[in-house]
Amino acid sequence: MGRMSQAKETRVVYCNCTYAKVVPEDVKTEVLARLSQSGMAFDAVADLCEMSARKDPALKRISAAGEVRIIACYPRAVLGLFRAAEAPLAGDRVEILNMRVAAAADLVRQVLPAAPPLKEKT
Amino acid sequence: MPGLAPAALRVVLYEGEGSTPLDPGQRLAALVALLAAGYQVTRVVSGGMVTPQDSGFILVLGQFQEGLPPVPAAEHREGRLEVRDVAGISGVGIAEMVEEVRAARGVEAPGSWTPWFPVIDYGRCTNCMQCLSFCLFDVYGVNDASELTVQNQSNCKTSCPACSRVCPEAAIMFPKYKKGPINGDVVRPSDLQSESMKVDISSLLGGDIYASLRNRQKTARKRFSTERDESKALLERKRCLKKLQKNLDIPDEVLMTLPSVGDIQDRARRAKEKHAKRMARSQTVQDQQPAPSVDDWGI
């Protein structure tokens, strides 16, 4: 799963992990706020786990639509969720960013390289 | 979980041509409220890329400069597309509007089920079926390709990751679990070692979990008839369960809902019958194949 260039064709999917408290709230909030402020188009989903269990057709749309950057949790889990929904992600066309371990500033830098840096939290 | 229903409703915040972008505060508040309520939200801007539409219901929200845009007949999608103007409505108000539209359309409400279920890392799974034997709630099954599959996600007990701890390959993930590698974090050699060290239920019980349960029941009956010390036996059982609970991180509620030995035996009987039927069917299919020709034998 290589890093992708900031191609204009790359879609961005943000997972809010709504039904659990395992993603740090401040990271989720900051990333969503920055996405919202940016002028870019994106898809925000409430919870990829829930969509996977329902075999939501949206997952097939995401996996079939070309390059995608998914901001969610551990890549192994995200790949498993898509496969479970019969919508396997192609390794070379997906970049998965992990909000459970990465700092909001790093994530924002990767998704929105043109965005001004975040203020350091005290 | 409401029967693996397809996507309920996709909300599109339209900020492309012919519309005035939402106020930043209004947009963020709407996003936060809609995601918290379980909706999928797509923000559309001119020249941007989002995932394409499907056959589900779409609600398009925007601040349209010349009133609601006419939707061409071909785009009506059999009434599964609705457009609303949200000018002057707060972010929270937008979420309330979406909820009203969903209810009026009779679309199923999102978020009625906590998504806790195992996810298999097929890159690690060896199809050993230990998890299938171990799970007492029929979560696992086998697909037509004889591959392990998660077939009844909603049977899984919330916050119980016990099956992942009996997997010798650390191939079972619960993405919402607190710790790795069960949460999907990378599996390190040390993790694998500790995974296998944890609990190998199969070997612990002598290979066949159902046979072991039957033997245990027989032994227990014998002991009860000779010792007649039920309180001692119950205490012993409680102690064993507590130990198992601690090792496998099983929530109290799950232990409370464990099926009885009778239920397990009944389930095993049904599984055997199903297997026998499948074998018989497969035999019939084989029998119906034409006899191999001379060419097939390469003569």
Per-residue tens of pLDDT for chain B, all 299 residues: 544 455 568 999 999 999 999 999 999 999 999 999 999 999 999 888 887 777 678 999 999 998 887 666 655 556 688 899 999 999 999 999 999 999 998 888 888 888 999 999 999 999 999 899 888 889 999 988 889 999 999 999 999 999 998 898 999 999 999 999 999 999 998 887 765 445 555 454 445 555 655 665 666 556 545 444 555 545 655 666 676 677 777 787 776 666 666 776 676 677 667 767 767 766 665 555 554 444 443 33
pLDDT-above-70 percentage for chain A: 88
Q: Is B94 left (phi over 0), alpha (psi -120 to 50) or beta?
A: alpha
Between B51 and A14, the more confident residue is A14
Q: Is the pLDDT of residue A19 over 80?
A: yes
Predicted local confidence at residue A2, as pLDDT: 45
Cβ distance B120 to A80 less than 8 Å, yes or no, reads: yes
Predicted local confidence at residue B273, as pLDDT: 73
Predicted local confidence at residue B145, as pLDDT: 87
Between A120 and B168, the more confident residue is B168
A84 and chain B: CB distance < 8 Å anywhere? yes
Once rounded to an integer, what is the mean pLDDT over residues A21-26?
96
Cβ distance A16 to B35 less than 8 Å, yes or no, reads: yes
Predicted local confidence at residue A114, as pLDDT: 75
Contact residues, chain B, for A45 at CB < 8 Å: 35, 40-41
Predicted local confidence at residue A7, as pLDDT: 47
**Nearest residue in A to B116, CA atom:** A49
Residue A76 lies in a domain: yes
Residue A6 lies in a domain: no
**Nearest residue in B to A19, CA atom:** B114
Quick check: B115 and B150 in contact, CB under 8 A? no
Give the domain range for residue A80. 11-111
Contact residues, chain A, for B38 at CB < 8 Å: 18, 46-47, 50
Cβ distance B176 to A53 less than 8 Å, yes or no, reads: no
Tens digits of residue pLDDT in A37-82 = 999 999 999 999 999 999 998 999 999 988 999 999 999 999 999 9
Q: Please give the domain boundaries of chain B with CATH numbers for all domains.
A: 10-105 (3.40.50), 119-279 (no CATH)
Contact residues, chain B, for A43 at CB < 8 Å: 40-43, 50-51
**Nearest residue in A to B185, CA atom:** A74
Nearest chain B CA: its distance from A73 CA (Å): 8
- Of the candidates A16, A36, A73, the beta carbon closest to that of B175 is on A73
Residue A122 lies in a domain: no
- Mutation for B interface: A34, A45, A93, most B CBs within 10 A: A45
- Mutation for B interface: A61, A76, A97, most B CBs within 10 A: A76
A47 and chain B: CB distance < 8 Å anywhere? yes
Cβ distance B115 to A50 less than 8 Å, yes or no, reads: yes
Quick check: A4 and A10 in contact, CB under 8 A? yes
Contact residues, chain A, for B4 at CB < 8 Å: 53-55
Predicted local confidence at residue B250, as pLDDT: 78
Q: Is the pLDDT of residue A13 over 90?
A: yes
What is the Cα–Cα distance from B141 to B127, expressed in whole angstroms?
11
Predicted local confidence at residue A5, as pLDDT: 45
For chain B, the three-class secondary structure string (H helix, E strand, C coil) is CCCCCCCCCEEEEECCCCECCCCHHHHHHHHHHHHHCCCEEEEECCCCCCCCCCCCCEEEEECEECECCCCCHHHCCCCCEEEEECCCCCHHHHHHHHHHHHHHHCCCCCCCCCCCCCEECCCCCCCCCHHHHHCCCCCEEECCCCCEEECCHHHCCCCCCHHHHHCCCCCEECCCCCCCCCCCCCCCHHHHHHHHHHCCHHHHCCCCHHHHHHHHHHHHHHHHHHHCCHHHHHHHHHHHHHHHHHHHCCCHHHHHCCCCHHHHHHHHHHHHHHHHHHHHHHHHHHHHCCCCCCCCCCC
Residue A121 lies in a domain: no
- Of the candidates B41, B43, B150, the beta carbon closest to that of A84 is on B150
Residue A60 lies in a domain: yes
Residue A1 lies in a domain: no
In 3D space, the residue among A81, A109, A105, A82 whose CA is nearest the CA of residue A3 turns out to be A109
CB pairs under 8 A between A and B: 165
Total number of domains in chain A: 1
**Nearest residue in B to A54, CA atom:** B4
